Every structure is written in structure tokens, then in C-alpha cells.
Amino acid sequence: MATIRKRTLPSGLVRWQVDFTDQAGKRRSKLFPRRKDADVYLVKVRSLVANHTYLADSESITVAEAAQSWLDHCEVRCKTGRRMERSTLRGYSDYVRLHITDAQVGVGDKLIAHLTRRHVNEFRDRLLLNGRSEHLTRRAISVLKLILDHAIDNGQLFTNAAHGVRIIKSSRIDHKAPVPSKEAIRALIEAADEDFKPHLIVSALGGLRASELRGLRWQDVNFDKGFIHIRQRADAYNQMGEPKSRAGYRDIPAGPMVLNALRRWKLRCPKSDLGLVFPAPRGGILQHTNTQARFRKLQEKVEVTMRWHDLRHSAVSLWIEQGFSIKEVMTFAGHSSIQMTMERYGHLFPSPDHQNAMAEVEAKLLG
């Protein structure tokens, strides 16, 4: 039961006190300067107690404390090999430090028991207004959801205020993948030295991610059947691990140019105890920063500008041009959904049905 009573403090100030018993049977009270504030709280606390979701301020923690607890849990998962890579943990830590607990835009000082949908919506809006991208804002909200879910698992919270918060897409944001020209790719491959050329050919025709290229083993190259099997990847800390998703496990068809380039490279490839196709000079895992440095010098040589990841976009665009179906492109690229493929590459797929329909419209109008 919850009630409101008027109190006069020793100082002479008048306050309104809400008295109630929480779901554990413990008596609680809270003072308010105005009756209407007490009335609002009375309705709220009755609902919380009835739903067994009341949490006293003294028993709550801040978002910053909840975030640290969650990061500690993630670190344990990382150290014990429970589906948490060091690069992922570092990314989570950055989102917490730079956005969620940031003094200017964050919600780190809020008690999680007081955090509402309105607070999270306002946090989202502050991120966008302070120059964070739509993608970054969406990721920050997702990380906040994970933090609050962890607090719920620990019995420190009952509902997650971040669930259901939407980030409306901007009509000005272009999600199309930047596809380099065939001439630019050809110029890079022709100008590359014989040791670097295979890296470019496999990336530009096989569509491997940089981490997958660094983790590729000779046992994953099937010269007889013409396939490259993606079974592992090397993260930013040079640790080998599984692909990030089920879709990452895939078999990519390899044409004669790719296979011949790999055959020639295998004859002079540095010896690697890990059996890597593209190892470091001493046989270990190749640092991606080294690959990027070589790539930059090559671009300067042929006066071409692009990112290493654009080689992957080149491969996907060639598959589409060759007539592969959306499903095939999704599979070869390692995308988890057709939606992801269409958001990045949908503009590259031809639409013969639409073209034929428009031809009929023209014929009907102009004869």
C-alpha cells in the first residue's frame, strides 16, 4: 500500500511524503516539495511494486558503473575464449569511453534505475547533434542495450530503457559501396611487384576481407576444385579465430587467374609453421598495417586512390556484372542477410524486367 502525507520539517519547510512498502516487504518513503510531484511518484511506485520492478536509489548503480561491470565481464569472456575477441572488446571500451560516458553527450552519471526511454532518446539526439554518424549512433545505442541487459542479468535492473529506441535513417546518407574502376584495379595489379601481386589478385577477385586474407591457409585453397575456403581470420592483435558470423564460413569460387597466381606464389612463399598463404617474412601473421603501407606506395606510383577494402567491393561488383544471383553474391561475400547485400550493392544489380516494362510504356505512348 502507498500513501501521501503532508510533513512540516524542523526548518519550517513543508514537504509531501510518499510512504509505501516495496515488493520485498521493506517500508520506503520519499519526500517531494510539491503535492503534484508526490502524486506522480505515487502512481509510478505503485506500478513498480505491483510489477516487482521497484529498485531503491541506494541499491542502484550509475550507467558508468554498469558499463564497467559489463566490460569486466567481456574481458573474462575474451581471456577464456568465450566468443569475445580482443578487437571487439577494444571497440566496446571505446564506445563506452567516447560516447556512453562522455561528459558532454553521455549518460554515464545517470542511475540505471532512473534511466528512461526519454533519456536514451535524448542521448541518441545529442550524439547526432554533436556530429556522430548514423552508424556510430546506432552502435552506441546497441552497446548501451548490452550494458543494461547485463545489469538485468545481475539483478540490478528490471527493464531495459534502450530497447526499442530507433535511429531514423537520413535520406542524405548513401550506403552504396564505393566500387573502384576496372582500370584502376588493373593498373595496381600490373604495377605491383611479384610478391605483392597475389595479395591484390586474391582480394580483388576473391572478395576476402583483410582479416580473412591474413588468416588464409594453404589447406584452405582447393586447387583441384577451384575454391577458397574461409575457415578462420586474424584479428587486429594477430590472434587467429573463427569468422565473426556463420555467414563468414564460406567457399568462394576461384578462377584460373587467382589459382595460377597462388600456384606461382606458393613456390616462393615464406615458410610458415601456421601454413599461411600470406605470412609475414618470418612466417608469422602479417600485420595489416604493413599491407596498407605497401598499398599506399603502390597507389602513389600509379596515381590511384582507394582503400584496401575497396578491393573487396571490386570483387563483388564483378560477380554481379557476371550475372551471379543476389543469393550467390550474399554467400560469396559472407553477408549475413540479403538486405545487407542489397544496401551495399543493390544499385549494381541490373533490372531487366523494369527496363522491358519501360520499353513497353514507351511503345504504347510513341508507337
pLDDT tens sequence across 21-59: 998 889 999 999 999 999 999 998 999 889 888 888 887
pLDDT tens digits, one per residue of 227-267: 999 999 998 888 898 998 899 999 999 999 999 999 999 99
pLDDT band of residue 363 (cuts 50, 70, 90) is: low
Please report which residue ranges of the chain form alpha helices under DSSP H: 35-50, 63-79, 86-95, 117-129, 134-153, 182-191, 197-206, 210-215, 256-268, 288-302, 310-322, 326-333, 338-345, 352-366
pLDDT band of residue 175 (cuts 50, 70, 90) is: low
Q: What average pLDDT does range 85-101 have in this prediction?
A: 95
| Residue, of 350 and 214, whose pLDDT is higher | 214
Predicted confidence at residue 353, as pLDDT, reads 58
Could you state, in order of their start, the residue ranges of all structural domains in the chain? Answer: 2-54, 63-153, 182-348
pLDDT band of residue 172 (cuts 50, 70, 90) is: low
CATH superfamily, region 182-348? Intergrase catalytic core (1.10.443.10)
Predicted confidence at residue 23, as pLDDT, reads 87
Grid cell of 365 as nine digits? 505512348
Predicted confidence at residue 339, as pLDDT, reads 84
**Is a pLDDT exceeding 70 seen at residue 201?**
yes
pLDDT band of residue 170 (cuts 50, 70, 90) is: low
Crossing angle between the packed helical segments 310-322 and 182-191, to the nearest 10 degrees? 120
